[in-house]
Amino acid sequence: MKDVSLFVDGSCRGNPGPGGYCAILQANGHEKTLVGGDDQTTNNRMELMGVLAGLQMLKRPCAVNIITDSQYVVTILRGGKAKANRDLVQALQVAATTHQITVQRVAGHSGHALNERCDRLAYAEATRRMSSAG
């Protein structure tokens, strides 16, 4: 089973408002960056979308270490109940079933290079969507 590191972050300009997410996958010396977003969303939805987008890129079962600064994502991935965003939580649970998932929380804005890069790219996407909306 291939080891994969999945770094994720989400951003929202207003909550709700235009949002963006970023997922960076690393495995076997290769790296793939995914960026997306929504014109009207929340920060928690964007955090979950980063994880979901990353997991959906994997073609076969992997040992995935998810690195996030979101306590919400950590709680959901460790089996916590979702009061909101049930659609994404359910999709995330389905996407995770074929993988061995571990989750690691890092402090946001603490100098962790890949978390900081995810943060910048997610924020840039949210800003782009805000600019194009108005």
By annotation, the residues acting in catalysis are 9-10, 47, 69, 109, 119
The answer to whether the CB of 57 falls within 8 A of the CB of 34 is yes
Cis omega before residue 18 (within 30°)?
no
Q: Under 8 Å CB-to-CB from 130, ≥6 apart: which residues?
A: 13, 14, 17, 18
